[in-house]
Amino acid sequence: MATTYTSQAVTDNLLPYSTVLATSGFLQAIQDELSLLAHPAIVDVAGLMPPDFFVGAPTNATFRIPVDMATPLMTSTTETTDVVGPTTIDYSTATISTGAYDIAFGVSDELRRRDAVNGYQVVRIAGKIAQSAQLTVTNLIVALAGSASSSVGTSGSPLTWDIVLEGRDDIVAAGLSAATGPFVAILHPAQWALVRQDLAAATGARAERRELDIAQMSMPVGYQGSYDGIDVYTCDRVALSSGDYTGMVFASGAIGRLLVPPAAAATSEIRVLDLSPVCAVEEVRNAADKSIQLNGQMTVGVSILRQELIRGVVSTGA
């Protein structure tokens, strides 16, 4: 009988973990709030839906998500007057579609035998697939920037931190009660380099802040620190259009992600990693070819749920 590993059950809205790889570093990374995938500002749409939401829904499906249920004020009445009539419950919706994403790594037995540094072991490849899933979701999120209805910054002009703050304040100034933190900014590394120069020239009380020291540290692409209540991420997939980068800044609730959990492992399946609902990794043995193949699969969709809570950040990169 084939060995089957399945995930342990955990509470809702938490990423389950594999019994096999629970202590691995990449699992911690994928659940870390510093990972864009798990950032609290990005709504887990599945958490808004009924428990049987996915039953009967195809993998590639389009869902309408209620995002803004307007709550009217009560009407002033007196002892002798009645309420005019029942108030209609009205809400706006956003569309989110999911799509299947896959990746496969093949490793020959010979390669594994001669692998002196354990670079081709199953666990490592499974971790690479989990990382790939994380990057894929990030790539999808970054692709949302070009469709933001409003933007700050100007074509052909450099980026300063004030422009990012302008985007945040523009969102807040709209007066929406939903415009709350944590705010997130996703910038291209070239945009971030300009912002760092700007922050380095800060004067007065701002110059004394510890946050600015962190800004000048050399960090890998990804989380760069939190400034003025905005968590800053960099990603080199931020689009370059007409000579300008289009990053974004958004409030909590602007963006939603929907991860459709993979089906439960079949009896015959060797599921080496089950990060449901993010991704699952399955091992397939090809004896004739003397190799194994690791298949990773994920079904995901991201969408701007509320345009009023997001602004594009347009600037040059130099």
Partner 1 sequence: MSVLLPRRPAAPQAAQIGLRLPASPAFTAMAHPSSWSLVRDNSGAWYLLPRLVQIVHMVGVNGVRVSRGEDGRPVADPSEAIRDRQAQGWVLVPEVDVYAHGQTWGHYCLGHRVVTGVAYRWAWEAPQVAHGRSVVQVDRDAEVAFRRWVGSDLLGLPECPDDLADAHRLKMRDSALRLGVEAQTRPSSARRLEHLAAQLVSLGWADGIDLPAPRERRPLGRAVTPPPAAAPTVDRAAALAALGLTADELVELVARRSAASPVGALVGSTLPDGAAFPDGDDTPAPRRRRG
Q: Scanning residues 43 to 82, which ones bind partner 1 (CB under 8 A)?
A: 60-62
Report which residue type is found at 101: Y
- C-alpha to C-alpha distance for 112 and 99, rounded to whole angstroms: 33
Upstream peptide bond of 277 is cis (omega within 30 degrees of 0): yes
Q: In the complex with partner 1, which residue's Cβ is closer, 38 or 238? A: 238
Q: Scanning residues 237 to 256, which ones bind partner 1 (CB under 8 A)?
A: 237, 239-243
Any contact of residue 158 with partner 1 (CB under 8 A)? Answer: yes
- C-alpha to C-alpha distance for 103 and 108, rounded to whole angstroms: 17
The residue behind tokens 């009023």 is 308
Q: In the complex with partner 1, which residue's Cβ is closer, 122 or 259? A: 259
Q: Could you give the string, one character per residue 217-236, with x where binding to partner 1 holds by CB under 8 A and - elsewhere?
A: -------------------x
Helix (H) or strand (E) holding 315: strand 310-315
- C-alpha to C-alpha distance for 121 and 207, rounded to whole angstroms: 48
From 26-34, 108-116, 175-183, 294-302, give the range in contact with partner 1 by CB under 8 A.
294-302
Least CB distance to partner 1 at residue 212 (A): 13
Least CB distance to partner 1 at residue 251 (A): 18
Q: Scanning residues 179 to 198, which ones bind partner 1 (CB under 8 A)?
A: 194, 197-198
Among 98, 138, 224, 297, binds partner 1 (CB under 8 A): 98
Who's near 301: CB < 8 A, 6+ residues apart? 63, 96, 97, 98, 99, 140, 257, 258
Any contact of residue 216 with partner 1 (CB under 8 A)? Answer: no
Q: Assign 200 to helix, strand or coil.
A: helix
Least CB distance to partner 1 at residue 118 (A): 29
Structural contact between residues 276 and 264, judged by C-beta atoms closer than 8 angstroms: no
Among 77, 154, 216, 286, binds partner 1 (CB under 8 A): 154
Q: In the complex with partner 1, which residue's Cβ is closer, 275 or 314? A: 314
For 90-128, the DSSP string reads -EEEEEEE-EEEEEEEEEEHHHHHT-TT-TTSHHHHHHH
Among 184, 283, 303, 313, binds partner 1 (CB under 8 A): 303
Contacting residues toward partner 1, per CB under 8 A: 60-62, 94-101, 140, 143-144, 146-151, 154-158, 160, 162, 166, 194, 197-198, 201-203, 236-237, 239-243, 300-304, 307, 314
